[in-house]
Amino acid sequence: MNGQFLACVLSCIAGFSTMIGSIFMVINKNSKLSALSFTLPFSFVIILFICVFDLAPSCYKYLVMANCTHSFIMTILFIIIGIYIGKCINKINIKTEKYDKNLYRVGIMSFLVLMLHNIPEGIITFITSYDNLSFGIMMCLVIAMHNIPEGIMISMPIYFSTGSKFKGFLYTLISGFAEPIGAIIAWAFLTNLVSNTFMGIILALVCGLMLHMVIDEIYPLMEKYNVKKYKYLGFFIAIIFVLCFHFLVK
């Protein structure tokens, strides 16, 4: 029981590290234009990195471990399905005259997709921590590191589209709960229902949703909010971050 409890605690730490990202809402001293000119390219690079170097390879790995025939084709297929689901969600009309609709949509999409992304992470953190506490602590730190920019991705668009820091914090906090939920799922069912096939399919769908979001949602807004010095700074810092993250994982 102690091992399971510690595994859940580590999942909570990893999940709620998203709140660190939302602090940038408070300390930000720049205008909406300059802040988003930095945040959107930063998010663009981070999401692409997660999709290409994290989600897609992890999906393929889980399907191979599940002995799925044509694992590579299955990975591509479920990623495409995820993109299609994202397009269907994008057709939902957000009725609001108060907010910047496109920016608000990016915040909501980031919130929903990253919640789905964090549930498998919670499962992974719990299982690795339960099996090997030392490795679980390292996994917790690694996941916490890349959850910080995820907090930025959710809070900044929500804040700048609604003008409410409370909403930015609230959505970020709720998304952080997804990781403990994943841990609870793993705790309740362990390996009975949380199979390699389940993990592979979920990660592929999330990968597709995130690819849709970065191409159809974030990229057009990057052209709208475009102060070049902040845009290039966002790209540069994101690239440095993902290189450091990749080095730490290795």
pLDDT for the residue numbered 170: 92
pLDDT for the residue numbered 133: 74
In angstroms, the Cα distances linking 78 to 44, 170, 202 are 22, 31, 9
Check residue 188 and report its DSSP letter: H
Query: Which region holds residue 70: left if phi is over 0, alpha if psi is between -120 and 50, else beta?
Result: left
Q: Is the pTM of this model over 0.85?
A: no
pLDDT for the residue numbered 78: 94
pLDDT for the residue numbered 171: 92
Report the candidate in 174, 126, 182 with the shortest Cα–Cα distance to residue 151. 174
Structural domain boundaries of the chain? Answer: 2-249
Residue type, 110: S
Length of the chain: 250
Which distant-in-sequence residues (6+ apart) come within 8 Å of 243 by Cβ? Answer: none
CA-CA distance, 205 to 229, in Å (whole number)? 34
Residue 240 CB-density burial (10 A; 0-12 exposed, 13-18 middle, 19+ buried) = exposed
CA-CA distance, 207 to 195, in Å (whole number)? 18
pLDDT for the residue numbered 99: 61
CA-CA distance, 230 to 40, in Å (whole number)? 10
Which structure tokens are listed for 52?
A: 């290409």
In angstroms, the Cα distances linking 220 to 5, 86, 144 are 44, 16, 29
Helices (H), 17-164: 18-27, 32-50, 56-65, 71-90, 101-131, 133-162
Q: What is the pLDDT along the chain (250 residues), one digit of tens a residue?
A: 566 778 788 888 888 888 888 887 777 666 777 878 888 888 888 888 888 888 899 889 989 998 888 899 999 999 999 999 888 877 766 555 556 677 888 888 888 888 887 888 788 788 777 766 776 777 777 778 778 888 888 888 888 888 888 999 999 999 888 888 888 887 877 555 567 888 888 888 888 888 888 888 888 888 878 778 888 998 998 888 888 766 665 5
